[in-house]
C-alpha cells in the first residue's frame, strides 16, 4: 500500500539525502521479542528525524508495518510496502520525506526451494522493491530496497551461492536500466552477501559504488583480518552489521562470524557520499538489541545534473573522509581500542557522541576523536591517504565497466558457480520424482496388505497399514509435485541465468 500526504517537510540542506537501512528481524512466532523490538525501533525512528528515506527489511507482520509507519509519519509521510509473495510477502518497506511517484517489485526467479520450509525464503518470495521518489531539486531518486537469499552454511548446497549470484545478476540489470532512465539510483538493504563476493562485484560493475568504503576511504578487509579485530573495531573499521558480539542476540557467536551484510550503493555520477556509519548499535533496556542486524546509514549530496539547469549542487570536501555522527545514534560505551592490525601508522578512530540536547533537525556534527589522547581529529592527511591500507574508495569500491578483462573473469566465476549447482538442481528433481514413484509402489503394496489383514480378521493391522499408506502417499505426492513442477522450473531458471551470462560475455562492451 502506498500512503500519501499533503505535507512536504522541509530539509536543512536541499541537496542532501540521508538514507537508513535496517533488517528488523520481524518473523512472527520465530523472532525473539519481536513486538518489544518493533516498538523500540518505532520509538527510535520517531526520535531520529534526520532521515529522508528509510528502507526496512523483514517487516512481515501488518501490525508491525502500521506501527512503524505511524511512528515516522510526522517527517516521512510517504510510504510503500510490497505484498507480492506466497505467505507474507517479501517484508520490504520504504518511508520517504518526499512523494513517491511510482513503485514496482521484482521477484527473483531463483530463490530457494519449497522443500526447505523451515528456512522460508521461497515462501516469502525474496525480491527487490523499487520506489521512484521526486526530490525537491527535480531529480528523481530510484531507491531499490532488496533482500537476497540468506546463506545457511559457508559452503555447499545450503550456502545458496548460485541463487544469490542470480539475484545479484538480476539486480544489476535493474540498476543499469534505472541509470539509463535518468534516475539517481540507490540500492540498499540486506544483501546477505559479504564484501568482495560475486554479488557485490556485479553491483560495482553496474555503475554503483559502496557508500561505506567511499565515505571512509578504507580498503575492504578480508574475513581473516576482521576476525582479528575486536567487536568494536569490526564495527568502526569494517562496517560489520551482522553477527557482531555487541549484538545481544549474537553475543555468544564466535568473533569470526561477524560480517557486513547491509549496504547502501549509489550512482557516483549523480551523488557523492558525505558520511556513513553503522547505526542503532546500543541495546534497548529490558529488550536487547533492536534486531539481529545493526542498521546502516549514509548521507549523500546530489551532484550536478546536466538535464536539470536549475539544479545547484553542494560540493563537499572530498578529503574529509571521516564519518559524521548525529545525536540519535550514540555509540555504546566501549573501552579504548587496541592498536589496529595492519594500521599501526593510522590513529584509531571512533564515533563521538553528540550532545543529547541538540534539537531535532539541527545537526551539529563533531569530528572524530583520537581514543588515545581524546583530541579532535581533522581530515586524513595526504600521508594517511597514500597508505595502501587506507586507499580512498574511489580507487577501491567501484570497478570500471570498461575493464573487459575484469568483467571476463567475473563472468567466468559466475559460470563456474552455475556449473557447480547444476548437479544439485538435477539431483534434487530426480530424487524427489524417484520418491514419488517409490511411494506409489509402497502404497499399492500396503493396500494389498490391508485386504490381507481384513481377510485374516486382523482389523487393527489394516488400520495401521491405512495410516502408514496415507502418510507415505501425502509425502510422495508432495515430493512428486516439488520434483516435477518446482524442480523443472528451477532447472529452467538456472538455464536462463546461464544463457544471459553467456550472452553478456559475448557483448561485454555494449552491456556494461
3-state secondary structure of 446: helix
Q: Cell 496388505 belongs to which residue?
A: 449
Q: If we measure between CA atoms, which residue out of 348, 3, 333, 300 comes closest to residue 137?
A: 300
User: What gap in Å lies between CA 279 and CA 332, rounded to an integer?
Assistant: 11
CA 232 vs CA 33, 376, 426, 496: distances in Å: 25, 19, 45, 43
pLDDT of residue 509: 60
Bridge-based pairing state of the strands 16-26 and 53-59: parallel
- Confidence label for 400 from pLDDT (cuts 50, 70 and 90): low
| pLDDT over 60 (residue 364) | no
- The terminus-to-terminus CA distance of the chain in angstroms comes to 34
Q: Which of 293, 327, 411, 435 is catalytic?
A: 293
pLDDT tens-place string over residues 116-156 = 777 777 778 799 999 999 999 889 999 999 999 988 888 87
| pLDDT over 90 (residue 327) | no
User: What gap in Å lies between CA 290 and CA 288, rounded to an integer?
Assistant: 6
Backbone angles phi, psi at 48, to 5 degrees: -95, 90
Residue with the bigger pLDDT between 400 and 175: it is 175
Range of weakest confidence among 79-93, 324-338, 345-359, 458-472 = 345-359
pLDDT tens-place string over residues 32-41 = 999 999 999 9
Residue with the bigger pLDDT between 223 and 267: it is 267
pLDDT tens-place string over residues 294-314 = 999 999 999 875 444 444 443
Q: Which whole number is the average pLDDT over 198-204?
A: 90
Please, what is the angle between helix 404-455 and helix 161-180, to 10°?
Answer: 130
Mean pLDDT of the chain: 79
| pLDDT over 70 (residue 10) | no
pLDDT of residue 510: 57
| pLDDT over 50 (residue 432) | yes
| pLDDT over 70 (residue 84) | yes
Q: Which whole number is the average pLDDT over 466-490?
A: 84
- Confidence label for 108 from pLDDT (cuts 50, 70 and 90): very high
User: What gap in Å lies between CA 362 and CA 355, rounded to an integer?
Assistant: 11
Range of weakest confidence among 27-31, 39-43, 52-56, 207-211 = 27-31
Q: Which whole number is the average pLDDT over 164-179?
A: 93
pLDDT of residue 354: 35
User: What gap in Å lies between CA 510 and CA 512, rounded to an integer?
Assistant: 6
User: What gap in Å lies between CA 474 and CA 436, rounded to an integer?
Assistant: 10
Q: Cell 573487459 belongs to which residue?
A: 404
Residue with the bigger pLDDT between 507 and 38: it is 38
- Confidence label for 469 from pLDDT (cuts 50, 70 and 90): confident
pLDDT of residue 270: 93
**Which residues have a Cβ under 8 Å from the Cβ of 95 and sit 6 or more positions away?**
53, 54, 56, 68, 69, 72, 76, 78, 79
pLDDT tens-place string over residues 48-64 = 888 999 999 999 999 99
**Which residues have a Cβ under 8 Å from the Cβ of 424 and sit 6 or more positions away?**
157
pLDDT of residue 78: 98
Range of weakest confidence among 10-14, 187-191, 307-311, 398-402 = 307-311
User: What gap in Å lies between CA 90 and CA 398, rounded to an integer?
Assistant: 29
Q: What is the pTM of this model?
A: 0.77
| pLDDT over 50 (residue 263) | yes
pLDDT of residue 54: 98
Residue with the bigger pLDDT between 310 and 173: it is 173
Backbone angles phi, psi at 142, to 5 degrees: -105, 110
Catalytic, 293? Answer yes
Amino acid at each position: 500500500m502506498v500512503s500519501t500526504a499533503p505535507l512536504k517537510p522541509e530539509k536543512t540542506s536541499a541537496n542532501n539525502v540521508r538514507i537508513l537501512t535496517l533488517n528488523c528481524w520481524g518473523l512472527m512466532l520465530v523472532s525473539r521479542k519481536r513486538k518489544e523490538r518493533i516498538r523500540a525501533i518505532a520509538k527510535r525512528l520517531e526520535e531520529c528525524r534526520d532521515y529522508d528515506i528509510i528502507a526496512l527489511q523483514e517487516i512481515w507482520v501488518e501490525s508491525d508495518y502500521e506501527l512503524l509507519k505511524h511512528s515516522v509519519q510526522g517527517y516521512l509521510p510517504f510510504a510503500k510496502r510490497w505484498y507480492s509473495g506466497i505467505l507474507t510477502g517479501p517484508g520490504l518497506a520504504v518511508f520517504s520525506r518526499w512523494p513517491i511517484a511510482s513503485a514496482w517489485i521484482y521477484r527473483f526467479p531463483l530463490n530457494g526451494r519449497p522443500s526447505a520450509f523451515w528456512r522460508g525464503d521461497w515462501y516469502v518470495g525474496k525480491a527487490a522493491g523499487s520506489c521512484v521518489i521526486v526530490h525537491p531539486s527535480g531529480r528523481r531518486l530510484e531507491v531499490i530496497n532488496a533482500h537476497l537469499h540468506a546463506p545457511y552454511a559457508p559452503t555447499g548446497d545450503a550456502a545458496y551461492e548460485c541463487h544469490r549470484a542470480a539475484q545479484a545478476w538480476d539486480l544489476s540489470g535493474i540498476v543499469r536500466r534505472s541509470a539509463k532512465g535518468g534516475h539517481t539510483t540507490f540500492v540498499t538493504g540486506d544483501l546477505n552477501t559479504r564484501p568482495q563476493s560475486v554479488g557485490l562485484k556485479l553491483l560495482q560493475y553496474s555503475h554503483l559504488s559502496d557508500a561505506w568504503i567511499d565515505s571512509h576511504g578504507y580498503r575492504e578487509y578480508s574475513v581473516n583480518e576482521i576476525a582479528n579485530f575486536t567487536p568494536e573495531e569490526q564495527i568502526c573499521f569494517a562496517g560489520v552489521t551482522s553477527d557482531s558480539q555487541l549484538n545481544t542476540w549474537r553475543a555468544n557467536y564466535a568473533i569470526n562470524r561477524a560480517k557486513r551484510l547491509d549496504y547502501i550503493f549509489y550512482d557516483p555520477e549523480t551523488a557523492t557520499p558525505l558520511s556513513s556509519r553503522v547505526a542503532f548499535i546500543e541495546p534497548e533496556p529490558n529488550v536487547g538489541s533492536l534486531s539481529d542486524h545493526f542498521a546502516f546509514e549514509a548521507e549523500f549530496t546530489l551532484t550536478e545534473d546536466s538535464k536539470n539547469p536549475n539544479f545547484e549542487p553542494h560540493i563537499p570536501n572530498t578529503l574529509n573522509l571521516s564519518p559524521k555522527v548525529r545525536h540519535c545514534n550514540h555509540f555504546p560505551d566501549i573501552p579504548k581500542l587496541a592498536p589496529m592490525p595492519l594500521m599501526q601508522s593510522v590513529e584509531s578512530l571512533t564515533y563521538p557522541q553528540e550532545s543529547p540536547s541538540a534539537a531535532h533537525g539541527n545537526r551539529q556534527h563533531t569530528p572524530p576523536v583520537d581514543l588515545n589522547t581524546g583530541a579532535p581529529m581533522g581530515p586524513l592527511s595526504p600521508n594517511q591517504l597514500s597508505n595502501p591500507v587506507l586507499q580512498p574508495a574511489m580507487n577501491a569500491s567501484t570497478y570500471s565497466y570498461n575493464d573487459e578483462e575484469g568483467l571476463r573473469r567475473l563472468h567466468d566465476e559466475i559460470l563456474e558457480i552455475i556449473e557447480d549447482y547444476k548437479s544439485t538442481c538435477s539431483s534434487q528433481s530426480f530424487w524427489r520424482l524417484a520418491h514419488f514413484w517409490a511411494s506409489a509402489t509402497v502404497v499399492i503394496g500396503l493396500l494389498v496388505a490391508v485386504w490381507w489383514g481384513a481377510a485374516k480378521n486382523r482389523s487393527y493391522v489394516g488400520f495401521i497399514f491405512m495410516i502408514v499408506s496415507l502418510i507415505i502417499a501425502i509425502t510422495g505426492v508432495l515430493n512428486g509435485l516439488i520434483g516435477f513442477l518446482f524442480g523443472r522450473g528451477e532447472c529452467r531458471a538456472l538455464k536462463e541465468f546461464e544463457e544471459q551470462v553467456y550472452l553478456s560475455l559475448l557483448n561485454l562492451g555494449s552491456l556494461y
